[in-house]
Amino acid sequence: MENEDEEIVVKDSNGNILANGDSIVLIKDLKLKGSSTVIKRGAKAKSIRLTDDENEIECSIDGMKGIVLKTEFIKKA
């Protein structure tokens, strides 16, 4: 069983460590679930928030708030 006091290390697709407040760039076009909106490759997000899952971050892109992205589709800006 994992120790809950351990820090979760979140890494982008290139292995760079991410922290709250970092800026990221999408490396692939992504379709938003439940919407016909597509977020294009190269879209930038500032001030990301880390989640409890090491494979996901939360951010705002193009005025859309609360978007959760998998870390395999982003790189640190």
Angle at 23 between CA 50 and CA 75, to 5 degrees: 85
10-57+67-76: CATH topology: SH3 type barrels. (2.30.30)
pTM summary value = 0.86
Question: What are the boundaries of each domain within the chain?
Answer: 10-57+67-76
Which one, of 65, 69, 75, 63, lies nearest residue 31 by Cα?
69
Residue 2 predicted with pLDDT over 90: no
pLDDT band at 5 (very low <50, low <70, confident <90, very high): low
In angstroms, what CA-CA distances link 19 with 34, 39, 40, 42, 58?
A: 28, 22, 23, 20, 11
Q: What is the mean pLDDT of residues 4-14?
A: 84
Q: What is the mean pLDDT of residues 6-14?
A: 90
What are phi and psi for residue 72, nearest 5 degrees?
-70, -15
- Tens of pLDDT, residues 20-76: 999 999 999 999 998 899 999 999 999 999 999 999 999 999 889 999 999 999 999
Question: What was the pLDDT predicted at 40?
Answer: 96
Which tokens is 37 given?
């909106």
